C-alpha cells in the first residue's frame, strides 16, 4: 500500500506526442487535463543522465555537476566524459531526504544509481556490470529482477534485426512492469517511485519508421505502430497502477521530450568562421583543408554503412566507450588553428546532431568574456534558413543567464536551440544549411528540451510552465 505519493518516471515521454494522441492515450491525457495541460522544460542539455539527477535532487546540472559537455578544443584532444558513482547521490536524493524525515520508500530502477544502498524500505537498482542489486538483500529472491532482460543493450543494431530490437524493448517493459506491480501489491510505504526506460529507447530506434512526416519515412512498414504501441502500454499500466493506489496522489514525469533527430545540418563552425571567430588549421591551403574533412567524411560514411548492415558487436561497443578514438572522426582538435580561434561548437551537438548545443568561447588578453559572448550571439542571431526567412536559432543565450552553479565551467559559454529540423554539426562547408546529417542514420529519434511530461492525479499543478527542477519540490511538498 502506498500511503502518500505514487511516482512513475517514464524516460523520454513527450508531452506533445501524448497530447496529439488523446483518443489512443486516454489516461495520460486525463493526467494532463486535470491540471490544464501544464508544460515542462527539461534541463540543458536535455540528456537522460543530468535530467534524472535534477529530478532526484532538485538541483540544476550546474549545481549537481552531472553533465558531459567536453572541450574538444583541448590541444591534447583529450576526451573524457564526467564519471560519477553513488556517493554523488547518497543523502541528496528525495528518497534519502524523506527517509531522514521518517518516511518509508520504495525505489525501483532509478536512473544513474549503479550499485544502490540500503534505504528505509525497498530499492532495486538497474542492471550495472550485468548485476542488479536489491535492498534489503533478502528480498532479491522474491522479486527476481531479470538482469539479462533489464540490462540488454539495444543500440546500433543492423536494420535487418530491427524486429529483435522491437521485441527486446517490449520484453524489458514487461519486466519493469512485473516488478513494479509486484512491489505495489506487496510493499507498505509512504512514497513509491518506479522508472520505466523503454519509451525513450524505442523512439530512438524507430522514429523514422513511425512518423509519416519524417523526410525519410519508408512508407507503410511493419514497424509503423511500434512507438504508439509502447505509449499505449504505458497508458494502460499507469491506469492500472492508479487503480491499485486508490486515492493516493499520483505523479507521472519524464526527463525530456522526444522527436525526430534532424536530417538536415547547420554548420555552426562555418558561421563562426565567417564571422571571424574560428580559424581553420589550413586556412592558406584549401585543398589540404578539404582533404582532411573529406577523409573523415569517407570514414564516417563507411562506419555508418557497416553499422546499418551488420550492427555494432557488443565487444566493440565496450571498446568504443572506453577508448573513444572514434570521436576524432566526428570532431577533432586537429581541425582548427586554436591559437587564432576564439569560438567553436562544443562536443554535445557536434557528436549527436541534436538541434540544441553549445559554443565554447575563449577570451583573450583579459577581454570581457560576457561582452564577447554577447557580440557573438548578436552576429549569429541574424542567420536565417536559406530561402525561408526563418531564424536558424529559436534562441541563443549566454549559459550564465540560465545557470549559476559551481559547475558552470563544465558548460560551454553559449547555449542554443536551433530550428528543430536542423542539427548542429562540426564540419565546415560552402553552405551552412544542408541535408547532410548523419546521426539520424544510427538513431532516428532525438531528445527535446521543451516537451518533458508532467501529469498528476490528486495533485494541484497550478503553473502553466514548469521546469524540471520543480519536480523535486512537488514531491517534497506533497509528502
Q: What is the pLDDT of residues 108-126, one digit of tens each?
A: 999 999 999 999 999 999 9
Tell whether the model's pLDDT for residue 317 goes beyond 70.
no
Cell matching residue 383:
542567420
Strand order in the sheet with 393-398: 343-345, 356-361, 414-418, 393-398
Non-local (6+) Cβ contacts of 306 within 8 A are none
User: H helices within 341-454, ranges in order?
Assistant: 347-352, 369-380, 439-442
Tell whether the model's pLDDT for residue 266 goes beyond 90.
yes
Q: What is the pLDDT of residues 88-106, one digit of tens each?
A: 999 999 999 999 999 999 9
**Bigger pLDDT: 339 vs 436:** 339
Indicate where the chain has its CATH 3.40.720.10 domain(s): 2-260+447-478
Count Cα atoms within 13 angstroms, Cβ side, for 468.
32
Could you tell me the pLDDT band of residue 233, with boundaries at 50, 70 and 90? very high
Angle (CA) 50 74 349, round 5°: 45
* Range 25-39 average pLDDT: 96
CA distance 467 to 386: 33
Confidence at residue 322, expressed as pLDDT on a 0 to 100 scale: 45
Could you tell me the pLDDT band of residue 324, with boundaries at 50, 70 and 90? very low
Angle (CA) 300 298 360, round 5°: 55
Could you tell me the pLDDT band of residue 207, with boundaries at 50, 70 and 90? very high
Confidence at residue 153, expressed as pLDDT on a 0 to 100 scale: 75
- Whether a cis peptide bond, with omega within 30° of 0, leads into 45 is yes
Distance of CA 446 to the CA centre of its chain: 8
CA distance 465 to 15: 12
Confidence at residue 157, expressed as pLDDT on a 0 to 100 scale: 61
Cell matching residue 274:
565567417
**Bigger pLDDT: 255 vs 326:** 255
Q: Are 64 and 54 in contact (CB under 8 A)?
A: yes
Could you tell me the pLDDT band of residue 318, with boundaries at 50, 70 and 90? very low
Confidence at residue 319, expressed as pLDDT on a 0 to 100 scale: 42
How many CB atoms lie under 10 A from the CB of residue 231?
Answer: 22
How are beta strands 250-253 and 189-196 bridged, if at all? unpaired
User: H helices within 34-73, ranges in order?
Assistant: 48-57, 61-64
Q: Are 109 and 195 in contact (CB under 8 A)?
A: yes
What sign has the CA pseudo-torsion 350, 351, 357, 358? negative
Nearest to 108 by CA among 145, 64, 152, 148: 145
Confidence at residue 289, expressed as pLDDT on a 0 to 100 scale: 47
Confidence at residue 246, expressed as pLDDT on a 0 to 100 scale: 96
Q: Please, what is the angle between helix 162-186 and helix 198-210, to 10°? A: 150
Q: Are 193 and 9 in contact (CB under 8 A)?
A: yes
Could you tell me the pLDDT band of residue 72, with boundaries at 50, 70 and 90? low
Q: Lowest-pLDDT range, 174-183, 282-291, 420-429?
A: 282-291
Could you tell me the pLDDT band of residue 443, with boundaries at 50, 70 and 90? confident
Confidence at residue 154, expressed as pLDDT on a 0 to 100 scale: 63
**Bigger pLDDT: 172 vs 321:** 172
pTM of the model: 0.90
Q: Lowest-pLDDT range, 155-164, 168-177, 264-273?
A: 155-164
3-state helix, strand, coil in the chain (%, to 5): 40, 20, 40
Q: What is the pLDDT of residues 247-260, one digit of tens each?
A: 999 999 999 999 99
Tell whether the model's pLDDT for residue 468 goes beyond 90.
yes
Confidence at residue 245, expressed as pLDDT on a 0 to 100 scale: 97
Percent of the chain with pLDDT over 70: 83
Confidence at residue 151, expressed as pLDDT on a 0 to 100 scale: 93
- CATH code: domain 2-260+447-478 is 3.40.720.10
Tell whether the model's pLDDT for residue 413 goes beyond 60.
yes
* Range 375-379 average pLDDT: 98
Tell whether the model's pLDDT for residue 441 goes beyond 90.
no
Mean pLDDT in the chain? 88
Tell whether the model's pLDDT for residue 417 goes beyond 60.
yes
Confidence at residue 442, expressed as pLDDT on a 0 to 100 scale: 76
Tell whether the model's pLDDT for residue 444 goes beyond 70.
yes
Amino acid at each position: 500500500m502506498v500511503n502518500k505519493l505514487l511516482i512513475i518516471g517514464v524516460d523520454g515521454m513527450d508531452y506533445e506526442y501524448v497530447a496529439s494522441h488523446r483518443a489512443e492515450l486516454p489516461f495520460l491525457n486525463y493526467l494532463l487535463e486535470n491540471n490544464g495541460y501544464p508544460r515542462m522544460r527539461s534541463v540543458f542539455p536535455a540528456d537522460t543522465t543530468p535530467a534524472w539527477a535534477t529530478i532526484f535532487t532538485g538541483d540544476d546540472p550546474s549545481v549537481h555537476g552531472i553533465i558531459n559537455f567536453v572541450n574538444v578544443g583541448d590541444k591534447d584532444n583529450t576526451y573524457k566524459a564526467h564519471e560519477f558513482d553513488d556517493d554523488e547521490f547518497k543523502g541528496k536524493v528525495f528518497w534519502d531526504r524523506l527517509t531522514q524525515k521518517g518516511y518509508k520508500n520504495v525505489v525501483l530502477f532509478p536512473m544513474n544509481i549503479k550499485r544502490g544502498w540500503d534505504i528505509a524500505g525497498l530499492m532495486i537498482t538497474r542492471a550495472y556490470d550485468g548485476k542488479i542489486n536489491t535492498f534489503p538483500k533478502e528480498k532479491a529472491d522474491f522479486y527476481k529482477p531479470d538482469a539479462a532482460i533489464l540490462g540488454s543493450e539495444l543500440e546500433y543494431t543492423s536494420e535487418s534485426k530491427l524486429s529483435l530490437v522491437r521485441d527486446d524493448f517490449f520484453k524489458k517493459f514487461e519486466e519493469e512492469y512485473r516488478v513494479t506491480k509486484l512491489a505495489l501489491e506487496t510493499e507498505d510505504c509512504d512514497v513509491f517511485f518506479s522508472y520505466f526506460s523503454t519509451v525513450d529507447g524505442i523512439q530512438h530506434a524507430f522514429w523514422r519508421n513511425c512518423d509519416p512526416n519524417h523526410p525519410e519515412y519508408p512508407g507503410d512498414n511493419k514497424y509503423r505502430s511500434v512507438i504508439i504501441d509502447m505509449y499505449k502500454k504505458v497508458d494502460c499500466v499507469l491506469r492500472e497502477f492508479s487503480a491499485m493506489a486508490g486515492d493516493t496522489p499520483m505523479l507521472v514525469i519524464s526527463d525530456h521530450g522526444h522527436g525526430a533527430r534532424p536530417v538536415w545540418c547547420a554548420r555552426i563552425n562555418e558561421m563562426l568562421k565567417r564571422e571571424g571567430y574560428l580559424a581553420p588549421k589550413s586556412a592558406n591551403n584549401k585543398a589540404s583543408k578539404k582533404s582532411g574533412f573529406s577523409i573523415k567524411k569517407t570514414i564516417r560514411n563507411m562506419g555508418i554503412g557497416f553499422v546499418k548492415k551488420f550492427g555494432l558487436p557488443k565487444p566493440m561497443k565496450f571498446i568504443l566507450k572506453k577508448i573513444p578514438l572514434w570521436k576524432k572522426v566526428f570532431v577533432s582538435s586537429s581541425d582548427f588553428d586554436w591559437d587564432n580561434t576564439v569560438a567553436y561548437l562544443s562536443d554535445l551537438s557536434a557528436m549527436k546532431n541534436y538541434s540544441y548545443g553549445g559554443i565554447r568561447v575563449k577570451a583573450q588578453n583579459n577581454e570581457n568574456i560576457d561582452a564577447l559572448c554577447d557580440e557573438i550571439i548578436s552576429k549569429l542571431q541574424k542567420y536565417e534558413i536559406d530561402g525561408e526567412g526563418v531564424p536558424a536559432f529559436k534562441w541563443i543565450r549566454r549559459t550564465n543567464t540560465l545557470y549559476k552553479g559551481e559547475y558552470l565551467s563544465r558548460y560551454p559559454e553559449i547555449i542554443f536551440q536551433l530550428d528543430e529540423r536542423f542539427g548542429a554539426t562540426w564540419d565546415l562547408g560552402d553552405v551552412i544549411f544542408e541535408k547532410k546529417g548523419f546521426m539520424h542514420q544510427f538513431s532516428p529519434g532525438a531528445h527535446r528540451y521543451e516537451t518533458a511530461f508532467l501529469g498528476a492525479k490528486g495533485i494541484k499543478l497550478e503553473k502553466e510552465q514548469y521546469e524540471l527542477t520543480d519536480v523535486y519540490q512537488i514531491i517534497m511538498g506533497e509528502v
